[in-house]
Structure 1
Amino acid sequence: MASGQSRARAVRRLVLAAALALLGLLAFAGPASAHATLVGTDPTEGQILTEAPEKATFTFDEPVRAQSGGVHLFDAKGVELEADTRTTDTLLVVDLPEGLADGTYVIAWRVVSSDGHPIAGALTFSIGAPSATVAAATGVSQSSPTSVRASLGIAQALTYLGVFGACGLVAFVLLLLPKEGGLDQVRERLLRIAGRFAWLVVVAGFATLVLTTLYQRAEGFSALFTDGPYEIPTGTELVSWVLAALGAWIAVGFAQGVRGRVHRVPALAGVVLALGALALVGHTRAFPPLWVMIAADLSHVLAGSIWFGGLIGLVISLRRLADRPRVAAVALGRFSALAAWLLVAVAVTGSVLGWRILRSWGNLFGTDFGRLLLVKVAVVVLVALIAAWNRYRLMPAVLADSGFADRASATGRLQRTVRIEAVLLIGVLGLTGFLVDRSPVEDTGSVALPGALDSSTFAGQTGNAKVVAVLKPATVGKNTILFQVQDLAGNPMEPSAVPGLNATSGQLSLGEQEVTNVDSGTYAATVVLPRAGTWDVQVSVRMSEFENPVVTVKVPVAAPR
């Protein structure tokens, strides 16, 4: 008996140590980087060199990593040449082969941001003189197949469903379900279902890892059956899956009981471990302030999990407690009292996360991430309205002393509406799965492969600030300007206000343009350039109340093709 107790204490210490380790990872790990953007290349786009370079360098505003087969070098005939690739922090370096002949060359590249999102593009340069014709590169995929992205979203949604279901049901059983006798079968039923959710975390989480590699490498499902070794992520994605699955099984196992005894503290520690693992990936750690984002994310998933698990628990419990309305009323009363606070927590933390990640109204309405988030908010609002109906209309009828038949009828109606709530929250988890692999900013850094290559990168400097700008398509008509404010060392700077932007050509001035903040020190604007020639893009950078330097970036604009 003593040895059994000592083993139980050892397991409890292990669980608590794992939970503390997770909190340490979240609290002391540096912030992840946001969606990277290409800010410069050497050679520059379209540059004609007098001699062959030893390497090509791509500079991004955030750290990136290259994957196997992510960079390809082509000559003007479309023949692929060998080139070695390496990444160092914000640099992608392509070591070019010796003895490159005169003519045009194309580097098609694809890297992965620290937030897990891939970005791709191409660079064209020439040696001696441009080739008369440049063949289109073939066999290089620049975007992930739709089937892979859809499957990844489904796998991520199922992973979230598994974590929320397992943790929420354990929390419901331990915190909300009455401890009265005769409920053992209900508890066992709920925890068996929680175990199935825990298995879902294992299976769907592993599928997410496999599909993440396909997504980041822009490969289809056929890559799973190639002869070469298949790689799965070994960084935070793998750690997150292992901790989520481990936490879910710890929660379920200790809630079911060890040697006939339920261990509440280790079970609830497993709940925290599984839910906290979700904060290791995604957009949360990519935006400051880090401690606010982590606290908001943990509170958001914890409140959402207890809400979802409570609804699932009520759907099952109310059906099995149809002949015990008083016991059912106790469970309903406990959940109803807690649900209002859970709803407030979900709304407040969700608003903090959404605004810090999107950072502008333009990103809310102009990106897939923002539009999916709006749909998610709409569904949550609908769930909140149904919850209010349950609390203020159906709950009083269940608790009223109006006779067994009336209470049973009210309980039946409540069951149906609670079931609708649960189904809608499953939809919310599904949307969350698809949000994870969507960028919260417009993808203005990608460049097309040869045949539609039309971007240029330029820079200007004054005083202690410089501006690096990318103009697309750099022809007469509608253009997108993506620019970053940097210090003289090349680090992004955050001005005290959104910079102003104007474009002039001779006596022609476009006037102040609308500028959108898309990342740390990075901004975007859409301008219509009415004529060809060299334009002065003037960026006014307010550093303080008394310091507002204007940086001028000269950009050539070509006539329409």
Structure 2
Amino acid sequence: MVGNWELMLLLTKFATYAAVSSCVGSILMQTLRSKQLRTTDTKLEAFDVWLSRWFLKWAGLGLVISLLQLPIQAGAMAENGIAGMFDPLMLSIMWQSAVGSQVSFIVVGFTLLLLSEWGINKLARFKTILRIVTVTGFILLAISFTFTGHTVELNTVFKGLLMLHILAMAAWAGSLWPLHQSCKALPADSLVTLMENFGKVAVFFVSILIACGVLLLLQLVEPISNLFTTDYGQLLMLKLIFVSGMLLLAAWHKLKLVAELAQHKNAQPLRLSILIETLLVVSVLVTTSVFTTLVGPQS
């Protein structure tokens, strides 16, 4: 039975995953849009504004969630109700632990993302420098996931693989809702170009995701039979099923639906399929939150 504190920790983990993914995906979409020919089409301009606001909302939510993480961890440790969240001793203990280090990296990461996007909107001439700040924020967020959880015992090489795995998954997962929105926001020709460009970079991200995921799987699940005999392994298998569904839909988009869009100018089938893929992403994030929060490799 999952207690209230475990549920709160689970929700904060899920919200953090969702915020990181949405931010990475938004920047990827902004980058792909910047490669397209600039026009004065109001639909394109409105979509670019929506992307920036979407990014800022999730970066802001991520920052708020990260600030709540330490008190929630302290409350879970104190087991003294809401008052435990503000117990100075418990807060001090958590701050000096790996949780404190993780929270520090997450807070700084999301703060850098907010500052960089605000700066780009106000100080466009410094866009290159500000995008470096954005990338730095993403790296700090990726590093934060190596401080706690079932991967904390991994060596430096595998922690690096974990970071790549997280960023690749975030780029793919976080792009889906903006792509879904683009189906109704962009003219057909611009939408086809965006989808084709995304399809090209998605191959790169998915390759990194799978390669790093397989190596991490072999490292974390020993022997491999534990995939079928432990709670942790079974949750991993469930995640793999969801990811496989995402891969099949992504291939269907690239090979069939985008081609039909270019021919018939009807984005509705693609939009519906992306919505289904987005629901699979939510399932992946929920499953990942469960086995990184409540279940260990030996469970």
Aligned mate of 2:39, from 181, 184, 191? 181
Higher RCO structure, 1 or 2 (CA under 8 Å, sep 6+) = 2
Residue 286 in structure 1 maps to residue 143 in structure 2: no
CA distance in 1, matches of 2:21, 2:50: 17
CA distance in 1, matches of 2:281, 2:218: 22
1:307 corresponds to which residue? Answer: 172
Contact 1:148 1:220 in 2 (8 A): no
Bigger-Rg structure (1/2): 1
Deviations 1:289-320 (CA, angstroms, capped at 9, x unpaired)? x1331221111011111112221221122221
CA distance in 1, matches of 2:153, 2:84: 30
Paired amino acid for 2:280: L
CA distance in 1, matches of 2:23, 2:133: 15
Provide the identity percentage.
Answer: 21
Residue 418 in structure 1 maps to residue 297 in structure 2: no
Contact 1:162 1:198 in 2 (8 A): yes
Aligned mate of 2:84, from 224, 232, 240? 224
1:432 corresponds to which residue? Answer: 288
What is the CA distance between 1:440 and its match in structure 2? Answer: 0.8
What is the CA distance between 1:190 and its match in structure 2? Answer: 1.0
CA distance in 2, matches of 1:269, 1:229: 32
Unaligned runs of 5+ in 2: none
CA distance in 2, matches of 1:354, 1:362: 12
2:14 corresponds to which residue? Answer: 157
2:101 corresponds to which residue? Answer: 239
State the aligned residue count: 286
Contact 2:109 2:141 in 1 (8 A): yes
Q: How does 1:436-455 map to 2 (within 5 A)?
A: 436-437=292-293, 438-442=295-299
Aligned mate of 1:387, from 241, 250, 274? 250
Greater fraction strand: 1
Using a 3 Å threshold, how does the CA distance of structure 1 residues 366 and 284 change in structure 2: closer, same or farther? same
Aligned mate of 1:275, from 142, 145, 153? 142
Aligned mate of 1:259, from 118, 123, 146? 123
Paired amino acid for 1:224: G
What is the CA distance between 1:267 and its match in structure 2? Answer: 2.2
Aligned mate of 1:370, from 223, 229, 233? 233
What is the CA distance between 1:176 and its match in structure 2? Answer: 5.0
What is the CA distance between 1:329 and its match in structure 2? Answer: 1.2
CA distance in 1, matches of 2:73, 2:58: 22
CA distance in 2, matches of 1:314, 1:426: 15
Deviations 1:244-272 (CA, angstroms, capped at 9, x unpaired)? 23223323432341424433322223222
Question: So what's the TM-score if we normalise by structure 1?
Answer: 0.48
Using a 3 Å threshold, how does the CA distance of structure 1 residues 167 and 249 change in structure 2: closer, same or farther? farther
Contact 1:243 1:274 in 2 (8 A): yes
Question: So what's the TM-score if we normalise by structure 2?
Answer: 0.86
CA distance in 2, matches of 1:284, 1:225: 26
Contact 1:164 1:304 in 2 (8 A): yes
CA distance in 2, matches of 1:225, 1:246: 22
Paired amino acid for 1:169: S
Using a 3 Å threshold, how does the CA distance of structure 1 residues 187 and 253 change in structure 2: closer, same or farther? farther
Unaligned runs of 5+ in 1: 1-143, 401-405, 443-561
Using a 3 Å threshold, how does the CA distance of structure 1 residues 415 and 337 change in structure 2: closer, same or farther? same
Deviations 1:216-260 (CA, angstroms, capped at 9, x unpaired)? 45x26355389x546231133222223223223323432341424
Contact 1:244 1:277 in 2 (8 A): yes
Contact 2:72 2:85 in 1 (8 A): no
